[in-house]
Structure 1
Amino acid sequence: MSNKLQILQIGSRNWSHDYEIPENMDWHFFWPKSTTAIRKVMAMEGLKSFSAILVENPEHLSDLLPLMKKVTPYTIFYPDTAEAQSNDLKDFLKKTCAQATDFSNPVELLRLLSKALFRGQYGDKLVAIDMIVNPGFTGKVCYNGYDNLELLGQYGKDFHPLISWKYNIRASDFNPVELWLEYEKDWTCDIRLIVRNIQDGSTASFVKERVFTVEDMKSALVLDDDFSSFISVSLEARGAGRLKIGALHQRLTRYQFGKYVLGGGIIHNENREEINYFFYPGDFKPPLNVYFSGYRRAEGFEGFGIMKYLGAPFILFSDPRIDGGAFYLGDDCIENGIRNIIQEYLDLLGFSNKELILSGMSMGTYGSMYYSSFFEPRAVIVAKPLTNLGLIAERGRLEAPGLFPTAFDILRHHSKGDASIDAMRALDDRFWTAFKKADFSQTIFGLSYMKEEDYDPRAFEGLVEALYHSGAHIMVKGTSGRHNDDSATSTTWFMNFYKIVLEQNFGRKS
C-alpha cells in the first residue's frame, strides 16, 4: 500500500481533472451512489480508511452512511455553507465529527490538507532557561525556574532587541510549524517577535524575516512556508515596566483542522497558558472516558491507544505548562474551561455524570481526582496517585532533594510566587477542600498505588480516609516500588480496574 495520503472525493466533478493534486496524495474519485464501488476499491488496495473524504455537495453525504465503520473521525470535510437535511445525516456527521470547511478555493484547500494530514503528532517548547537577555539591558532580570523569565526596567522609546532563544526551530516545507508564546506584560510596555528563516544548509543566511505584533499573537503564528529552513526567533520590546516571558511553544500545524491531531483543541487563559484536549467519539455509547495525561516534556496527547481499545467515547487532556505540566490547576478560565469541555461532550453524547469515568496516571491522577469533586462521576481510575503538591515541594528541600525539583516551579506558579510553608499547605488544601466536599457515595474508585511512594507518601492514606467517610466503593492494588518504579504492573492494574468497571456497570466486555 502506498505511503501517500489516500483522498476520497465524492461528487459530480473530479477535482483531479481541474486542479493539480499534491504529490503526496493518491486521489480516488467516485460518482454519487457508488458505495459498492468504494468498498471494492478499498478491499483491492488494502485500505482500511481514507486520510480525508471530500464531499463538495452536501446532498452526497448520505452516500457515506453505509461506510460509517470505515470512516476515521474528523476526516470528512464538507462545505461550511451546508446544513444536514435529515436526522440520520445529522447523527452521522456528529458521530464521525465531520468538519465543515471552506470549499470556495479548492486549490488552497488541497494545499492545506496535503500538509495537515500527516501521521502522528509533534510539539515541544523552549523554556526560560533557553533564553538569552541582551547584555545591554540594565534592568532587573529574574529566571523563575522553568516557568518564565521576568524583567523589569526601561526598554527604550523604540523597539530594541531584548531576548533571543539559544536554539533554532526546524521547519520543513511539508510540515510547517506554528508558534505560541506565553507572556504577561504591563500596559506601559510593548513587545513583538522577530522570526527569521535561515537558509537550509547555511548558518547565517536569512531568506525571510517576519515581524509579529501583540495583535498578531492573539492567535497561533503559523509559519506557512513552501521551503525547508531553520527558524530563529527573537523578541524586541519598547516602553517600560514588567515583562514575564514564558515558554515558546512550537508544534507541527494542522491549520484550522485541529491542534496536534485532527480535531484537537486548546483552552487558553489571559496569560496565554494552554490546556490541550481531544475528543474521540468511539461507539457513542456510555460511558464517556476522560484521561488526563501524565507529566511529559513532549507536547501533544498520550493515552490514545489504551482509550481507543476500550471502545467507548473519550476525551484526552494534556498540560504543556512549565516543564512537563502544572497538574491541571489554574485560574478560573483554565479550570472552568476543563469542566466546560467535559460537560460539553457529556451533553453531545446525551450522558449524565453517572455515565462518566475520570482517569489518569501520575500527574494525570491529580487532574482526574480534582475534577471528580465537581462531577461526582461513576468511577475514578488512577495509577500512582498524587494529591499533595505542596508536600512534594516541601519534601524536595531535605527529605527528597533532586527527586522532582520542578515541584518548586509548580508551587510558585500556583501560589503567585510564594514558596513559603503556608503556601505549600494552601496548595495541598486546594485539592482536599474540593475533594472532601464531594458526594462520592455513588462513585467507584480504582486506586493502583506504589507501596514505597516517594513523591507523595501521604496520598494513598489520605484518599482512603477521605473516601471511607464519603461512602465510596474502593478497589485497591498496591505495587512494590517507588513512584517511577514498575510502571508496567501499575498500568496493568489501571486497565484491569477499567475493564471491571466497564463490564459490571456498563455491560462492556473486552
Structure 2
Amino acid sequence: MKEDKISVLQTGMADWSDILKTENDFLSWSFLPSQTSLLDFEAWVEENGQPSVLLLTEISTIAELEAIMALVDPYRIVVDIKEAEEDVTRRQQLKSHFASYLDFSNKENVIYQLTKYFYFAQYGDRIRIEMLHISPDFYHDVTYFGSSEIDISGEFGQSYQSVASWQFNAIAEPRFNHEYWLEHTIDETLEAELVVRLLTTDSLKIVDSWTVNLKNQVKPIVIASDLATEYYLSFTIRVKGYGKLSLGSLHHRRSRLDFGQFLVGGQRLVDQKSEEIMTYFYPGNLKPPLNVYFSGYRTAEGFEGFPMMKKLRQPFILIADPRLEGGAFYIGSPEMEAKIIKVIRDQLADLGFSSEQLILSGLSMGTFGALYYASNLEPGAVIVGKPLANLGNIAANGVFLRPGEFGTASDLLLQNTGGTTSKHVDMLNQRFWHKFSKTPFNHTTFAIAYMRDDDYDQTAYDDLLETLGNSRAMVIGKGISGRHNDNTGEIIEWFLNQYQRIIKTFS
C-alpha cells in the first residue's frame, strides 16, 4: 500500500470496490463484512494502520459497532445520512465519534468525496501583498502598511474594472480540490469581487472561472476541476463605486470542503475583518484535563503538535493562526478573541469540566496565546516553553538586536497600534500586561522553561515572575542556556515532562 494512498476500510453487507474506477490511483480499498469479529478488525488495524476512512454501510447489521468505531480516529468515520436519521439508537454513538454523513444513494459521489477530501496530510500557504500588481491608473491611491495590508482608495466608476492582480499564477495539483480566502475589508460605498481563472499549463487557455463578491463571501472559494494534470490559477480584483478596499494575504489550502480545515474536523473562526483562526478538537479519553495547544510560528499554514498531543491520550484542542507571515500571536479584534475563548469554554462545558481542569500550553509564539488567554480562562495550569510576552519589545529588538530578522513583529506592531515609535512599542507590550496583571490566578500553576539569553524577549520570564508574585499562582521555572531559537529539543523534553507530571495530578 503506497503511503500517499487514501486507505478506505468498508464494513457492511455489500462490497463497493467493484464500482471504483480503474483510473482512481488514490484509494486503497478494503472490505470486511458486517459480521466480522472485533478481533479480526483489530488484526486489520494492527497490520495496516489507521484507515483514512472507516466507511460504515448498513450500520444496523454491524456487530460490535461501538468497539469498531473506537479503533479509528474521530472524524474518519463516514455513514449514510439517511440511515443515521432513521436509526435513533445509533445516532448518539455516531455523534460521539464525530462521524461524517453522506448520501449513499450516489455511490460514485461518495467515492469522489473520499478521494478528494479525506487525505491525511494537511497543506496550506499564502500569497502575500508583495505579489500584488496594482493597475497604474490607481497607483497614486495605494497605501502599504508594512507587509500585512494594502489600501486602495478612490472613485472607481459605476462598472467593474480591474484594479489589482497577483503577479504570478498559482500552480494547482489535480489530485486535490483547492480553496482560497482573501483577507479584506471594504467600505459600504464600494463593491469588489475576486475573479479566479483556471488556465491549462501547456497553452495557457482559460477553461474555467469563478467570481466571488467580497461583501457576501463567508466561506473560502473552492476550486474543483476534473483536469488530470497540473493547472494554473490567476487572481484579479475588480471594483466599482467609491471608497477604500483593504487587502491582506490570499490564503490557499487543500480543500476538505465541509469536512474540516487543514485536518478533517478542523474548524474555522472568522471575524468582520475576514481574519481567520483555526481550531481542532480531539476527544482522547474524555477525561480531565482538557489540553489546549497554541501552534508556534509557522510559515506553512496548518496545525502544529497533533502527534505530540495525541500521545498524551487526553482530550485536546489545537489552535493555529494563519495570519501575517507565520502567525499574528493570537491577538486580534475583540470579536476574534471572544470567539477563541468561546471555543475553549464550550468544549469545557461539553466535557463537563471546570476551568481548573484546563491546561493552556504553547511553544514560542504559542506561549503568548497560552499566557494571554489564561487571563480570561484562569486554567488549572499553563505550560510554556520559550515565553514571549512583550510583543512591542520583540519588534524593537528586530531593529536593534536582530536587524533584518523576524519582520512579522514589525507588521504586528503596526497592525495593532498604527505606528512604530517607542510609544507604540509600549502600547503593544501593555496589550498583554493590562490583562495579565489584573488576574488573581487563584488555582493556576505556571510551568515555564525559558532561554537565559533570549534575543526576542529578554525580560519575559522575569516580568512574568514579578507579576505572578502578586497573585496566588504557583510558578515552576527552568532556565536553559542559549538564545531564543537554540536548544529547542531540551525545551520540548521539559515541556512534555511537565505535561505528563501535571496530568497525573488530575487522576
Q: Indicate the TM-score class for this superposition, using the shorter chain for normalisation.
A: over 0.9
Q: Cα 1:41–1:314, aligned 2, differ >3 Å: closer, same or farther?
A: closer
State the match for 1:218 in structure 2.
218
State the match for 1:380 in structure 2.
382
Q: Deviations over 1:80-115 (max 9, x none)?
A: 45359677x566434422223344533222101111
1:275 is aligned, of 277, 291, 297, to 277
Counterpart AA for 2:123: Y
State the match for 1:240 in structure 2.
242
Deviation at 1:213, TM superposition (A): 2.3
Q: Cα 1:36–1:327, aligned 2, differ >3 Å: closer, same or farther?
A: closer
For residues 389 and 308 of structure 2, the distance between their equivalents in structure 1, rounded to whole angstroms, comes to 24
1:346 has 2:336 as partner: no
Q: Deviations over 1:185-241 (max 9, x none)?
A: 111211112212221334x33232332223663221110101130111121112221
For residues 60 and 331 of structure 1, the distance between their equivalents in structure 2, rounded to whole angstroms, comes to 50
Deviation at 1:16, TM superposition (A): 3.8
Q: Cα 1:194–1:30, aligned 2, differ >3 Å: closer, same or farther?
A: same
The answer (yes or no) to whether the contact 1:139–1:154 under 8 Å persists in 2 is no
For residues 86 and 285 of structure 2, the distance between their equivalents in structure 1, rounded to whole angstroms, comes to 21
For residues 19 and 396 of structure 1, the distance between their equivalents in structure 2, rounded to whole angstroms, comes to 55
Q: Cα 1:172–1:400, aligned 2, differ >3 Å: closer, same or farther?
A: closer
For residues 239 and 358 of structure 2, the distance between their equivalents in structure 1, rounded to whole angstroms, comes to 47
Deviation at 1:377, TM superposition (A): 0.9
Q: Cα 1:377–1:34, aligned 2, differ >3 Å: closer, same or farther?
A: same
SS at structure 2 position matched to 1:325: coil
State the match for 1:150 in structure 2.
151
For residues 406 and 385 of structure 1, the distance between their equivalents in structure 2, rounded to whole angstroms, comes to 17
State the match for 1:174 in structure 2.
175
Deviation at 1:42, TM superposition (A): 1.2
SS at structure 1 position matched to 2:217: helix
Q: Deviations over 1:317-374 (max 9, x none)?
A: 1111111111101112211111111112212222111111100011100000011111
Unaligned runs of 5+ in 1: none
Q: Cα 1:364–1:138, aligned 2, differ >3 Å: closer, same or farther?
A: closer
1:333 is aligned, of 332, 335, 356, to 335
State the match for 1:112 in structure 2.
113
1:361 is aligned, of 350, 363, 369, to 363
For residues 314 and 360 of structure 1, the distance between their equivalents in structure 2, rounded to whole angstroms, comes to 13
Q: Cα 1:344–1:106, aligned 2, differ >3 Å: closer, same or farther?
A: farther
Q: Please report the TM-score for the alignment, with normalisation by the length of structure 1.
A: 0.92
Q: Cα 1:223–1:446, aligned 2, differ >3 Å: closer, same or farther?
A: same
Q: Cα 1:26–1:484, aligned 2, differ >3 Å: closer, same or farther?
A: closer
Counterpart AA for 2:340: I
For residues 402 and 200 of structure 1, the distance between their equivalents in structure 2, rounded to whole angstroms, comes to 37
The answer (yes or no) to whether the contact 1:379–1:445 under 8 Å persists in 2 is yes
1:292 has 2:294 as partner: yes
Equivalence map 1:57-206=2 (5 Å): 57-60=58-61, 63-81=64-82, 82-83=84-85, 89=90, 92-202=93-203, 204-206=204-206
State the match for 1:251 in structure 2.
253
Counterpart AA for 1:391: N
Deviation at 1:57, TM superposition (A): 3.9
More divergent stretch after superposition (286-295 vs 61-70): 61-70
Counterpart AA for 1:262: V
Q: Cα 1:406–1:66, aligned 2, differ >3 Å: closer, same or farther?
A: closer
Deviation at 1:30, TM superposition (A): 4.0
Backbone CA RMSD of aligned residues = 2.3
For residues 139 and 67 of structure 2, the distance between their equivalents in structure 1, rounded to whole angstroms, comes to 68
Unaligned runs of 5+ in 2: none
Counterpart AA for 1:174: R
Q: Cα 1:494–1:84, aligned 2, differ >3 Å: closer, same or farther?
A: farther
Q: Cα 1:347–1:83, aligned 2, differ >3 Å: closer, same or farther?
A: farther
More divergent stretch after superposition (344-353 vs 90-99): 90-99
SS at structure 2 position matched to 1:470: coil
Equivalence map 1:324-473=2 (5 Å): 324-415=326-417, 417-473=418-474
For residues 208 and 319 of structure 1, the distance between their equivalents in structure 2, rounded to whole angstroms, comes to 32
The answer (yes or no) to whether the contact 1:323–1:406 under 8 Å persists in 2 is yes
Counterpart AA for 2:75: Y
State the match for 2:501 in structure 1.
500
The answer (yes or no) to whether the contact 1:448–1:478 under 8 Å persists in 2 is yes
Counterpart AA for 1:335: E
Q: Deviations over 1:418-443 (max 9, x none)?
A: 33433332322221121122222321
Q: Deviations over 1:150-171 (max 9, x none)?
A: 1111223211111111222221
For residues 419 and 444 of structure 1, the distance between their equivalents in structure 2, rounded to whole angstroms, comes to 35
For residues 62 and 140 of structure 2, the distance between their equivalents in structure 1, rounded to whole angstroms, comes to 61
The answer (yes or no) to whether the contact 2:397–2:455 under 8 Å persists in 1 is no
The answer (yes or no) to whether the contact 2:37–2:63 under 8 Å persists in 1 is no
Q: Cα 1:26–1:452, aligned 2, differ >3 Å: closer, same or farther?
A: closer
For residues 101 and 207 of structure 2, the distance between their equivalents in structure 1, rounded to whole angstroms, comes to 36
SS at structure 2 position matched to 1:192: strand
For residues 153 and 463 of structure 2, the distance between their equivalents in structure 1, rounded to whole angstroms, comes to 42
- % of aligned pairs identical? 38
The answer (yes or no) to whether the contact 1:383–1:491 under 8 Å persists in 2 is yes
For residues 387 and 84 of structure 1, the distance between their equivalents in structure 2, rounded to whole angstroms, comes to 52
More divergent stretch after superposition (437-446 vs 51-60): 51-60
Deviation at 1:259, TM superposition (A): 0.7
State the match for 1:208 in structure 2.
208
In the comparison of the two structures, how many residue pairs are matched? Answer: 502
State the match for 1:55 in structure 2.
56
For residues 210 and 191 of structure 2, the distance between their equivalents in structure 1, rounded to whole angstroms, comes to 17
Deviation at 1:182, TM superposition (A): 0.7
Q: Please report the TM-score for the alignment, with normalisation by the length of structure 2.
A: 0.92
State the match for 1:264 in structure 2.
266
Q: Cα 1:61–1:95, aligned 2, differ >3 Å: closer, same or farther?
A: farther
Counterpart AA for 1:194: V
SS at structure 1 position matched to 2:151: strand
Deviation at 1:487, TM superposition (A): 1.4
Deviation at 1:119, TM superposition (A): 2.4
State the match for 2:480 in structure 1.
479
SS at structure 2 position matched to 1:306: helix
For residues 453 and 36 of structure 1, the distance between their equivalents in structure 2, rounded to whole angstroms, comes to 53
For residues 335 and 129 of structure 2, the distance between their equivalents in structure 1, rounded to whole angstroms, comes to 24
Deviation at 1:17, TM superposition (A): 4.9
For residues 135 and 75 of structure 1, the distance between their equivalents in structure 2, rounded to whole angstroms, comes to 50
For residues 88 and 119 of structure 2, the distance between their equivalents in structure 1, rounded to whole angstroms, comes to 33
The answer (yes or no) to whether the contact 1:269–1:334 under 8 Å persists in 2 is yes
The answer (yes or no) to whether the contact 1:180–1:217 under 8 Å persists in 2 is no
Counterpart AA for 1:121: Q
Q: Cα 1:205–1:86, aligned 2, differ >3 Å: closer, same or farther?
A: closer
